[in-house]
Amino acid sequence: MTAFLRFADFSPGQTFRSGSLTVTAEQIKAFAGQFDPQPFHMEDAAAEAGPFRGLAASGWHTAGITMRLLVEGGLPIAGGLVGAGVDELRWHRPVRPGDTLTAESEVLEVIPSASRPGQGRLRVATRTMLPDGTVVQSMVSTLVVRG
Amino acid sequence: MTAFLRFADFSPGQTFRSGSLTVTAEQIKAFAGQFDPQPFHMEDAAAEAGPFRGLAASGWHTAGITMRLLVEGGLPIAGGLVGAGVDELRWHRPVRPGDTLTAESEVLEVIPSASRPGQGRLRVATRTMLPDGTVVQSMVSTLVVRG
């Protein structure tokens, strides 16, 4: 069972690893239909002729899957994951149907609140990876931790 | 009808405005169920007691809606919207059921490809706003434009 951590429990250099999720072609097309309705994310023929030379997930879909992996134990913050913002979000490689993704996170910085003792912000680097370690997405998030 | 632009048509300072979309409570809960399954994004009682003091969309949902607004004419790039990455993604205010969102984008930088004439990258600042101009999300995207 995952132990959920409070603000005082975090320190720079800590690492966390999520479970994994496998992406299907149907999920890629369904996400795109709602949030990134470009033919090369939705239709096989357009995908083959498109910029990714085959069906690939919207980068925002990969970001959503990463969030799910973090919420489901990949970044165990008591009180939940509340993001203030993200920097350096990069999509390094297309995510294909059948790809299995895992998220690894490292605490970069622990920033106590000036006004609220025991609370603050974390800066966390998260890499979303295939089983062989290939990084498909990376980002640095700022998370609000309430204590 | 939106005129779609090629790489050579872009210059710093150009601005674009999207259509609009209204977010429902059902959409907020459905997105959260798939990508951000925290009780305060999915259940009314937990939302009231949670960090946003009421139901609010996952920030990744707001990002997805913004992408849809950009794809549907908000950022008219011939060949489509292909993102290399995003910086300075910030969630300024919770997005609530019934909120209507519009995306305004400004071209910050036009970076020609060193190897491929007529192609390159754009750096674009996008603000997602309510009808009264309140900014709920902002980001700076790097987009690959094929010519």
Size of interface A-B (CB pairs under 8 A): 86
Segment B54-78 mean pLDDT: 97
Instruction: Let me know: does B106 contact B125? Beta carbons within 8 Å.
Output: yes
Burial of A114 (C-beta count, 10 Å sphere; 0-12/13-18/19+): exposed
Whole-angstrom distance, CA of residue A80 vs CA of residue A83? 10
How many CB atoms are closer than 10 A to CB A23? 20
Both tokens assigned to A20: 């994994």
Contact yes or no for A144 and B65 at CB 8 A:
no
As a whole number of angstroms, the distance between CA A96 and CA A24 comes to: 8
Query: pLDDT for A61-109, tens place per residue?
Result: 999 999 999 999 999 999 899 999 999 999 999 999 999 999 999 999 9
Reported ipTM: the value is 0.96
Across B107-126, average pLDDT = 96
Interface test with B, best of A26, A58, A87 (most B CBs within 10 A): A87
A71 touches B: beta carbon within 8 Å: yes
Residue A10 is predicted with a pLDDT of 96
Tokens 């239909």 sit on residue? A33
B9: Cβ contacts below 8 Å, ≥ 6 apart: none
The mean of the pLDDT values for chain A is: 96
Cα dihedral sign, B83-B84-B87-B91: positive
CB-nearest partner of B37 from A71, A84, A87: A71
pTM: 0.96
Buried-state track B66-77, b at ≥16 Cβ within 10 A, e below 16: bbbbbbeebbbb
- Say if CB B98 and CB B81 are below 8 A apart: no
Look at residue A1 in the predicted model and tell me its pLDDT. Answer: 55
Tell me if chain A has a CB within 8 Å of the CB of B7: no
**What are the backbone dihedrals phi and psi of residue A29, each rounded to the nearest 5 degrees, phi first?**
-70, -35
* pLDDT on residue B3: 83
Chain B CB contacts of A92 under 8 Å are none
Query: What is the reported pLDDT for A146?
Result: 84
Residue A126's pLDDT band, with cuts at 50, 70 and 90, is very high
| Residues in chain B closer than 8 A to A81 (CB atoms) | 36, 38
B59 vs A contacts (CB less than 8 Å): 83
Report chain B's mean pLDDT, rounded to a whole number. Answer: 96
Question: B34: pLDDT confidence band, cut at 50, 70 and 90?
Answer: very high
Helix, strand, or coil here: A35? Answer: helix
What percent of chain B clears pLDDT 90, i.e. is strictly above it? 94
CA A28, A34, A36, A39 torsion-angle sign:
positive
Q: Max Cα separation, chain A?
A: 56
Q: Say what the pLDDT of residue A3 is.
A: 83
B106 touches chain A (CB under 8 A): no
**Selected residue of A62, A65, A69, A82 to mutate for chain B interface (largest B Cβ count, 10 A):** A82
pLDDT at residue A147 in the model = 72
Q: Which residue has the tokens 């996400």?
A: A31
Which chain A residues are Cβ-neighbours of B60 within 8 angstroms? 60, 63-64, 67
Contacts of B84 in chain A (CB under 8 A): 90-91
Return the pLDDT at B32: 98
Distance CA A99, CA A61 (A): 13
State whether residue A81 sits within 8 Å of chain B by CB: yes
Residue B1 pLDDT level (bands cut at 50, 70, 90): low
Longest dimension (CA), chain B: 56
pLDDT at A101: 98
pLDDT score of A79: 87
Taking residues B102-122, report their average pLDDT.
Answer: 96
pLDDT at A9: 95
Q: Which pLDDT does position A45 carry in this prediction?
A: 95
